[in-house]
Structure 1
Amino acid sequence: MEVAMAALSSLIPKLGSLLTAEYNLQKGARGEIKFLKREMESMQATLKDLNKLPADQISHTNKLWMRDLAELSYDIEDSVDAFMVNLVRKAKIRHCIAMDIEDIKTRVQEVDERRRRYLPDVTMVPDRRLNIDPRVIAMFEEASSLVGIDGPAKKLINMLTQGDSIQKQKLMVVSVVGVGGLGKTTLANSVYKKLGAQFQRQAFVPVSLKPDMKNILCSILRQISRGKCKDAGEKDLSELIQNIRDFLSDKRYLIVIDDLWDEPSWDFLNTALIDNHHGSRVIVTTRNLDVGKICTGTVRGATVRGAVYELEPLSDKDSRRLLYTRVFKKEEGINTKLNEVAGKILKKCGGLPLAITTIAGLLASRKTKEEWYAVYNSICSGHVKTKDNMEKMRD
């Protein structure tokens, strides 16, 4: 529940920001964003109601819904971030944003539809269902099927576990750097789940462009205390930091700080970290290479072990696997006549998993080569030059 709450707390303000006059969106897109914001606010209210229940009264079905909601929120936030950093005043870009938002809207309604089928005891928003191709729902059901993640996960785990016996006892910070939509959060979450059992304390917190530091510290404290600090929200910042340090002082911990944007945010958050020589690890995901390097240098003025992992786009092979798995439920295309246009579409996606899965949602209900070419011709190519985007992260 903590992860889902944190994800929504980060996402909802961004949706509000996207509606400001600064972003010259198409009229229809503005309406869709307002819809998404209302939906997310309603889901957040439902989470707060569930949070009032004792932990043993929250059903497994509720927990699955919260997991889906957290994953969806992170995906939407990645898209919103991409909208904000692109030249949204250009008509072609605005058209692509409208397409992305329609796909996101469909996914939101899928999560709500699933909740309505299996969680009738939870009151949420009015029914706004659409007629959805069943394959789209099936694709969302398999969102946990990760393509191309094994290699990067192995590399990241090796970074986190390398060194001799003495080095392994020191705190280590690894920064995962990459453009939006490249799968940094997915990678960090995969490694977090694989290594979590090796640590006595764990926490996974999103930061975002305009972070609420108190909420972030509260989330860390609740997670590492395993729910014991239920009054975290009543504490001031200094109390939260001290409590976190107390819980971490003699424990081996793993903390993921997801989507860090700037140095001041790191300077503040690392005051809560401590090198207790128990082999603790911190994973930071960021779009900015300079921020990634800063994070791997010091913790509260002390030099720590650190490494930067620059995440690469998916290979051509993995890109095709991801597209076909999402559209056809298998790695080989059902219609080989689509292979050529699929290659053209994937070239425009530039190896970005978020772009590929978004396009897969558009292709799911289309079966002919002509329909696929229509989608291809409507795609913006803003992410094609991935290397150029990687260079921009250094600015």
Structure 2
Amino acid sequence: MIVASIAPVLSALKTLLQYLLTAEVIPLFEVKVQVAALRRQFEDLRSSLSRAVLEGQNKPVVSKAMRVLYDCEDIIDTYKVRRRLRNPLLRLKILHEVANRIAEIRPMLAEAAQACSVPPQSSPSLPSSSSPPPSFPDILPNVCIGREDSVEEIVRALLEKPSSASSHVVSIFGIAGLGKTTLAKRVLSHPQVRSGFQRFAWACMSRGTTTRDLAAEILCSVSPDLTAEEVHGMEEKVIIDRLREVQLNTRCLVVLVDLRSEADWDRISRAFPLREGPSRLLVTTRNRTLSLHIDPIRLHDHWLRFLYEEESFDLLMRIINRPETEGLDTGMEDSARKLLKLCGGLPLAISTIGGILSRRSTLTDWEDVRKNIGQTLRHLNEGRTLCKVVLDQCYDELDPKLKPLLLYLGLFPQGAEITGKQLFHLWTTEKFYLPHKKLPNEGKLDSTLKLKPLVDSGIVQVEEDKPTKRIKSYRLNNFIRELCILKAREEDLLHVLDLRSSKEPVKVIASSGLKDCSKIQRLSVLLGRDAKRDSCLGNILKAKRALDLRTLFLFEEKPCEGRNWKQMGKLFKKCKHLRVLMIEGLESVEGSVPGSIGDLFQLRYLSFKNTQVECLPQSLRNLVSVKTLDLRVRCTPTSPAVILPDVLQKMKRLKHLYLPRHFTTTDDKRKLRFYHLKNLRNLKNFTSSKCKESDLAELTSLRKLTVICSVEELDWFSSFARDRKITFKHIPSH
């Protein structure tokens, strides 16, 4: 009876299993063929999209096609992850997911390919030209048109005879783009100044420069009898005392460019005898309050005004290299003056518009430029300045190959110093598809090759190492950065969420253009001083499905209480497709990195630089696709060393590894192992007390090795490497 009663149930189960086997499991073995076909379609669409962009295809078409490309790449990478899983049920689950996603994306691929093949419609933008992309020169260093009165006033203040009422500090202040640095250079080269002072020094108060390095740089300039090696061998206090002594006994002129905060001045102020001696200090800054902070009683401050109409016209003529004897015909001069009214007397805007006009020689071309900017003005949002309109025009004239690279810089905070290596690693990780051209390989790096046109034009500013003249870092002018953020939002490339403002969280989200959080590709979040305002991230977490976020930057303005890693853990669970995760400078975050970070299988770039971390999780072993790993974290006040699990050898694709300066392993008796890291090229902060020395012999691709050790350990390390015959193909043996 029992057998007879369950017979229909068994028959139904048999039928169901047969259906699942034929309809679900067997087709999964065809996924490999489907993925191969998807890869071919992926490459075809990428090539078509590159051609479409170069031909001036419409932005909505480009944006939609790029999103399809990103989805294709996610599917292909998910399939690659399947091969590394040991659990057969989990492998079948992922295969099923891949098969379903391929079926969904096929019609979108066909639609995107067809849209890219359609010739772009004509637009009201500027007419194309066969001539090369324009150059957008910065304000010429030897041209100070309209600043003659400013030069004379500052020179008089600097050369004033010492007295109880005379000023030892002269300040030039004004908004960005007015030419403060250009004016300071002109003053420094003035004949009366050259004859009135004996020693000169020029220093830039760039972000991240230490007090010691800044004082040493100035001391080398005003003390020709000291060599750079002698100065750098001194302690900080000795350098500052010597610098102060030189200024008291010798008539020196020191120029400090781009002073940004009271803290920057306070840390270097001890080196300057403000009301003693014959020396003088010339400072450029954007904030008059900061000038008054230096010397509120005897400060001579000079506000740099905007240029008048005729001065603007003269500057424009110099920039477009039009001789005064040749002049302009009436029509072109009228068009130029109308354009200059849009610049508002701002030299940066005038130099930008001059770069555009310098490659156009007819009245028709100049009128096209003016009309195009005029049309843009009618659609301005409240608060946008005329300078931004001119910079919009500058962006439209850029080579398409440079646009995504420039916009990407907008992800970094205002005033950030960005190194070339960091940019190179990020660009290669992102795999920019536009244009379809590989970045130079790392052996020939550098990002200088890509950013050189932008640097030469003054759009991107650089910080150079004076002895070698090599570029140390890049940064963006505030106006340029705002332009990058606006343009990137329009093209759906990236978004910036600034939580430092006083707006309500809902207004912050709305003003950032984050309408559909699930569709964001790249996001940079600037955290404020109030941890409660981090709840704005909750708006992103409300998405019903996993986010398409590929890049996430998190920065902190100043430390605050109440911020912890649990908030980050919820975000990690939503962002399954992350390829770049940069959490830098979070000095006050509490707790340990959550284990959910191990679910980010597709992660290629991970950085916790200068972020407070107690312990890193064992789940890091799952990040097998990571190529750049920066663990130079900040230790907590209660723990002098971060706890690091011995799982790094699982990351076989790792190329760049930056270890913490102070760390300990989960098991104190075990050392970190690296024997599987055959692709590792850069290893920093290697220490023999925590790392397995014999594994160095396995790192055959290593190009740069930084070891932390004492003098005794260095001798032992050298003998150890010699006895074990450890050699590297790419590192000199001497």
TM-score band, normalised by the shorter chain?
A: 0.5 to 0.7
Matched residue, 2:186: 190
Matches for 1:297-308 after TM superposition, within 5 Å: 297=296, 305-308=298-301
For 1:286, the aligned partner's letter is T
Whole-angstrom distance in 2 between the partners of 1:201 and 1:328: 35
For 2:320, the aligned partner's letter is V
Find 2:199's aligned residue among 198, 201, 206: 201
For 2:364, the aligned partner's letter is E
Whole-angstrom distance in 2 between the partners of 1:171 and 1:275: 8
Matched residue, 1:309: 302
Q: Is the counterpart of residue 273 in structure 1 residue 272 in structure 2?
A: yes
Whole-angstrom distance in 2 between the partners of 1:214 and 1:365: 46
Whole-angstrom distance in 2 between the partners of 1:181 and 1:196: 27
Q: 1:263-318: per-residue Cα shift (whole Å, max 9, x none)?
A: 01111121101257443211110001211221233xxxxx6x21211110111111
For 1:352, the aligned partner's letter is L
Whole-angstrom distance in 1 between the partners of 2:215 and 2:257: 13
Whole-angstrom distance in 2 between the partners of 1:197 and 1:249: 18
Whole-angstrom distance in 2 between the partners of 1:296 and 1:228: 30
Matched residue, 1:338: 332
Q: Is the counterpart of residue 327 in structure 1 residue 326 in structure 2?
A: no
Over 3 Å counting, the alpha-carbon distance change for 1:359 and 1:254 in structure 2 is same
For 2:241, the aligned partner's letter is Q
Matched residue, 1:175: 171
Q: 1:322-370: per-residue Cα shift (whole Å, max 9, x none)?
A: 1012214334742321122212221222212222122211111102233
Q: Is the counterpart of residue 318 in structure 1 residue 311 in structure 2?
A: yes
Whole-angstrom distance in 2 between the partners of 1:208 and 1:341: 39
Q: 1:154-194: per-residue Cα shift (whole Å, max 9, x none)?
A: 122233344x66347x6611111011110111111211222
Over 3 Å counting, the alpha-carbon distance change for 1:236 and 1:346 in structure 2 is farther
Matched residue, 1:214: 212
Whole-angstrom distance in 1 between the partners of 2:263 and 2:224: 28
Q: Which moved more, 1:327-336 or 1:187-196?
A: 327-336
For 2:354, the aligned partner's letter is A
Over 3 Å counting, the alpha-carbon distance change for 1:263 and 1:140 in structure 2 is closer
Secondary structure, counterpart of 1:145 in structure 2: coil
For 2:346, the aligned partner's letter is L
Secondary structure, counterpart of 1:249 in structure 2: helix
CA contact (8 A) 1:175 1:293 kept: no
Matched residue, 1:224: 222
Matches for 1:360-375 after TM superposition, within 5 Å: 360-375=354-369
For 2:305, the aligned partner's letter is E
Secondary structure, counterpart of 2:299 in structure 1: strand
Secondary structure, counterpart of 1:313 in structure 2: coil
Over 3 Å counting, the alpha-carbon distance change for 1:165 and 1:176 in structure 2 is closer
CA contact (8 A) 2:255 2:283 kept: yes
Whole-angstrom distance in 1 between the partners of 2:186 and 2:164: 24
Whole-angstrom distance in 1 between the partners of 2:195 and 2:327: 38
Q: Which has the larger radius of gyration?
A: 2
Whole-angstrom distance in 1 between the partners of 2:336 and 2:215: 44
Q: Is the counterpart of residue 249 in structure 1 residue 248 in structure 2?
A: yes
Whole-angstrom distance in 2 between the partners of 1:159 and 1:384: 34
CA contact (8 A) 2:248 2:279 kept: no
Normalized against structure 2, the TM-score is what?
0.31
Matched residue, 2:27: none
Between the two proteins, the alignment pairs up a number of residues equal to 250
Q: 1:96-121: per-residue Cα shift (whole Å, max 9, x none)?
A: xxx9xxxxxxxxxxxxxxxxxxxxxx
For 1:308, the aligned partner's letter is D
Q: Which moved more, 1:367-376 or 1:145-154?
A: 367-376
Matches for 1:1-395 after TM superposition, within 5 Å: 144-162=142-160, 166-167=163-164, 172-194=168-190, 195-226=193-224, 228-231=226-229, 232-275=231-274, 277-297=276-296, 305-331=298-324, 333-376=327-370, 377-378=372-373, 382-384=384-386
Whole-angstrom distance in 2 between the partners of 1:196 and 1:269: 25
Over 3 Å counting, the alpha-carbon distance change for 1:327 and 1:221 in structure 2 is same
CA contact (8 A) 1:201 1:248 kept: no
Flag the structure with more relative contact order, 1 or 2, with Cα contacts below 8 A and sequence separation at least 6.
1
Runs of 4+ with deviation above 6 angstroms: 139-142
Over 3 Å counting, the alpha-carbon distance change for 1:227 and 1:357 in structure 2 is farther
Secondary structure, counterpart of 2:163 in structure 1: helix
Secondary structure, counterpart of 1:175 in structure 2: strand
Whole-angstrom distance in 1 between the partners of 2:209 and 2:247: 23
For 2:316, the aligned partner's letter is L
RMSD after superposition? 3.4
Matched residue, 1:106: none
Q: 1:4-49: per-residue Cα shift (whole Å, max 9, x none)?
A: xxxxxxxxxxxxxxxxxxxxxxx9xxxxxxxxxxxxxxxxxxxxxx
Over 3 Å counting, the alpha-carbon distance change for 1:339 and 1:141 in structure 2 is closer
CA contact (8 A) 1:350 1:383 kept: no
Whole-angstrom distance in 2 between the partners of 1:187 and 1:356: 16
Over 3 Å counting, the alpha-carbon distance change for 1:158 and 1:325 in structure 2 is same
Secondary structure, counterpart of 1:166 in structure 2: coil
CA contact (8 A) 2:198 2:251 kept: yes
Question: How much does 1:152 deviate?
Answer: 1.0
